[in-house]
Amino acid sequence: MTTVTEKAKGFIQVDKRDAKLALAHIYVAFIALFIGGLCGLLQVLVRSGQFTLPWGITYYQILTVHGVLLGLILTTYFIFGFQIAAVSRTAGTLTDKQRSIGWIGFWTMTAGTVAASIMVLLNEASVLYTFYAPLQAHWIFYVGMALVVVGSWIGGIAQIMKYVEWRKANPGQPSPLITFMVVVNLAMWIICSLGVAVEVVFQLIPWSLGWVDKIDVLLSRTLFWYFGHPLVYFWLLPAYMVWYVVIPKIIGGKIFSDALARLSFMLFLIFSIPVGFHHQLTEPGIDSFWKYLQVVLTMMVVIPSLLTAFSLFASFEIRGRELGAKGVFGWFKKLPWKDARFVVPFIGMAAFIPAGAGGIINASHQMNQIIHNTIWVTGHFHLTLATTVVLTFFGAAYWLIPHLTGRILTKQMNHLAIIQAIVWTVGMSIMSGAMHIVGLFGAPRRSDFSTYGGSEQAADWIPYQIAQAVGGTILFIGIILVLYIVAHLLWFAPKGKTEFPIGEVSEHAEKTPMVLENWKIWLTICILLILFAYTIPVIDMIQNAPPGSKGYKLW
């Protein structure tokens, strides 16, 4: 295998000051991985029925630490670190003003993270990562979460400013693909997080401070899920950036089509927000027409993922044939199976095939009745988020961190990174597989074993829960391995230059039509679809809220 360093000749280096900002985010992400992962291990042990938490720590407390730190903090910080580096690498070094705004965003998010984490660790906010009312947390937890969101807007604006500057300097030209993708992800994030911001600021904070004694629970859940589904695409799209732009370069090939990649991202922007009701299909108070409409829109958001799968297969096949591959699957053997930067994200891609099929099952109105609130759903998001996305992030970290720290990924670390991914795959197959199967038998998610462990059904679930504990323990070993590699890349790896790989578009690809970068058109469609999918049902919810829930209303 050619080492990363050997390949890295004459490449563009991210400016040191931007690298520092990106790295600050990456540090927080991996600290969150350690604490959140440890709580994940404790959780599967508790659910196996063989272990009791010491010192009065509760199941919901560790479940909240796990969900908030891994689902919200690890992801947001890694994504921001990656995006800042990607924008700086492809659209140019940030200006001092943009970088200062980036730092203000970072510190605002971090102040919020610390405040919220302290409340969760003190058992004052054991409300899980969805913080559904009527579970109530200490007001400091909600203020902390609001600061994380506001900080992400500030940090996001810094990245968008660089894009705007680039477009002004290069009129009529399509922007660098990965910078464009970053801006789509941020646009989606800002539009969707308005929902959770309204919920937290106008409902949860006044309620937790005792200014109002009741809130409209259905409305609060609806505002959460207006945010919650695009949240999962906010996690996914940076993985897609790696798949579309970085992986073709790593395999020595070309990006299949710039236009197709941009179209797929714009389809995510318009279809990923008006679909939150697919998390609320079993909830009363929402007319079934609106649920059905959002199920249809959910099926539309599957299309850009299918486009992505097509594009990836095309990139792989074209490269394989260049290297002499024959037959339908001959290209498979020609891929760089000894390069962790490829293998680790590739396992993530492969996992997304069953994971995506699971998502389609979830979204299919009637089938949702079988799996909703069972541990099948937990199995689903451990395949999507904790395998597809997280393995892609690990694979990216193996070139991103050494690029930013001025070090290299040695052959030994490259080898260890592949072993890490195999450990992860084994652990996750056992854990997520058991979750999917026992979920179909009706085993509940988010339930303390002590509350249901004595029931007759629970006896049938126990073998699967023990399997989850075995898988979870293997996964924790995977976390220790990745943290070891990351620490090595941050502080101990030999000094050297590592490439930030950015693929070139194939010369056979069609020219990118500029309409794909016409924000007026795409944002208008996005807002119209949101208004169409949400206006009437939300008015309905407010007007027809059951008597007890009218104590506090938004308007």
Which residues carry out catalysis?
229, 233, 380-382, 445-446
Q: For residue 284, report the phi and psi dihedrals to the nearest 5 degrees.
A: -75, 165
Shortest distance, CB of residue 265 to ligand HAS, whole angstroms? Answer: 13
Shortest distance, CB of residue 442 to ligand HAS, whole angstroms? Answer: 14
- 393 C-beta neighbours (distance < 10 Å), count: 27
Closest CB to ligand HAS among 58 and 130?
A: 130
Q: What angle do CA 196, 197, 198 make, to 5 degrees?
A: 90
Closest CB to ligand HAS among 26 and 385?
A: 385
Shortest distance, CB of residue 546 to ligand HAS, whole angstroms? Answer: 22
Written in H, E and C, the secondary structure of 161-178 is HHHHHHHHHCCCCCCCHH
Q: For residue 444, report the phi and psi dihedrals to the nearest 5 degrees.
A: -75, 155
Shortest distance, CB of residue 173 to ligand HAS, whole angstroms? Answer: 28
Closest CB to ligand HAS among 384 and 512?
A: 384
Can you tell me which residue has the tokens 């009065």? 56
Of all residues in the shown chain, the one whose CB is closest to ligand HAS is 356
Interior/surface letters 405-433, b for 16+ CB within 10 angstroms, e for the rest:
bebbbbeebbebbbebbebbbbbbbbbbb
Shortest distance, CB of residue 412 to ligand HAS, whole angstroms? Answer: 27
- Contact residues toward ligand HAS (CB under 6 A) are 130, 232, 235-236, 278-279, 298, 301-302, 305-306, 308-309, 312-313, 349-350, 352-353, 356, 359-360, 362-363, 368, 372, 377, 380-381, 384-385, 389
User: 300, exposed or middle or buried, with CB in 10 Å at 0-12, 13-18, 19+?
Assistant: middle
Q: Three-state SS for 540?
A: helix
- 437 C-beta neighbours (distance < 10 Å), count: 16
Closest CB to ligand HAS among 220 and 384?
A: 384
Shortest distance, CB of residue 312 to ligand HAS, whole angstroms? Answer: 4
Please say whether the beta carbons of 299 and 363 come within 8 A.
yes
**188: Cβ contacts below 8 Å, ≥ 6 apart:** 230, 233, 234, 237, 268, 269, 272, 273
Closest CB to ligand HAS among 312 and 545?
A: 312
Q: Which of 301, 303, 298, 307 is nearest to 261 (CA)?
A: 307
